Amino acid sequence: MDRRDYLAALGAATTAGVAGCTTFSVEKNTEVSGSGGDGGGGANGDDSDGSDGDGDDRIPTPSYTVETVTTGLASPWSVTTLPGDDRLLVTQQGGSLRLVDPGGGATTPVDGAPSVFARGQGGLLDAAVHPSYPEEPWLYLTYSVAGSDGESSTAVGRGRLDTDAGRLRNFERLHAAEPFVESSGHYGSRAVFGPDDLLYVSVGDRQFKNFGPDHVGQRVDEELGCILRLRPDGSVPESNPFVDDPDARDTIFSYGHRNPQGLTVHPETGAIWESEYGEQDGDEINVLEAGGNYGWPVADEGCTYGSGDPIGVSHDDREDVIAPVFGWPCGSGGFPPSGTTFYTGDRVSGWTGDLFVAGTASRAIARFVVDGTDVRQAPTLLEDRNQRLRDVETGPDGYLYAIVDAGDAPLLRLKPA
């Protein structure tokens, strides 16, 4: 299959019509929603164009309602469940944490978060809990951290979460990606524990534009444009793919990534799934493999801003790179993907096991039906609201939750109509 055929095949998944949704009477603070409508332009420094919201209309879309759980969140970046707790933990980009009660919507501040470099796309970003939480009450945070002379990097650290006291105690930085650079973009910065009880952390390429083999995304002697893998204490697992390579960073699990803002674990296979922003279009969903090169920017399906010229060659033209399991190629309109999760609840019939991806500039949530690594896009959700979506998560009550990327933002809950 040549590049043109490959792009056409990927684009075919986003050219079908969008199913509608029946309107229902609902209670106060609840809005009926469904599929249909356009995406929108970007903001807050994120890349890529909006999506047209299309999907395979042969996949049924259950009617659903949207409830506003709470409002007044300040540029929230992630929403995380806490095992054994009915509340949700929300990070706010300016550097603060809040616990949210999904029942009544009350929010409680959590003190003790680290100081962050809250500029551009930076700030307090993702959160993850220890695999043995709450017996091991470690909360892990990713955030941008300042170095000298205005340089910054993606860092990960941990503290002991005391929810009763509303405090994160004894927070310590575990690792900061190297090198620090003069950029306030493309921090990546998702974190997830795999079934191996190891911590996977994404780091972006920091917006370097030298699209060739010397780009940071193609270098394993630096930690930019990579997925890192660490033990819970921040040390390096001996099983990491580059530990025996003296010319590579032993923290690296995979490389060739641009700005990976989604990481999640497949609930059946245990594989780590990743979503990342492309340049102009070229957004991707990948399944991570140890030591894998995902191509950026020498193999890519996107194009350069403005000119629309191809970046590198197609993934299919190189045997040394791993192609995405789904992508939005140049000319498709793209779908800038942020937080990503598999829906593990059973509240919405037909969604269990599906992959959901929050869209920023696309202002929607993409839904995918997944069979192994076969991925089919269903009609998108929430595009009629025209809000930037930053993260999605299955809540403790089994419903799907989403946070809006705005200075005065709501936390939303999707329920069957």
Q: Which two tokens stand for residue 30?
A: 């609840």
Answer yes or no: 186 catalytic. Answer: yes
Contact 144, 116 (CB under 8 A): yes
Using the structure block, give the residue that is written with the tokens 């350069």.
304
Name the catalytic one among 130, 186, 215, 257.
186
Contact 273, 257 (CB under 8 A): no
Rounded Cα distance between 177 and 299, Å, is 24
Tell me the three state secondary structure of residue 383: helix
Rounded Cα distance between 74 and 31, Å, is 22
Overall residue count recorded for the chain in this entry? 417
Using the structure block, give the residue that is written with the tokens 């695999």.
131
Contact 144, 152 (CB under 8 A): yes
Rounded Cα distance between 66 and 36, Å, is 15
Q: What residues are paired with 113 via a beta bridge?
A: none
Rounded Cα distance between 149 and 376, Å, is 46
Half-sphere exposure of 141 (CA within 13 A, CB side): 30
Nearest to 91 by CA among 123, 59, 131: 123
Q: Which two tokens stand for residue 383?
A: 């595009």
Q: Which residues, other chains included, contact 251 with Cβ-Cβ below 8 Å and sequence gap of 6+?
A: 175, 223, 226, 228, 229, 230, 236, 240
Q: Which residues, other chains included, contact 4 with Cβ-Cβ below 8 Å and sequence gap of 6+?
A: none
Rounded Cα distance between 366 and 375, Å, is 12
Q: What residues are paired with 284 via a beta bridge?
A: 276, 327
Q: Which residues are catalytic?
A: 186
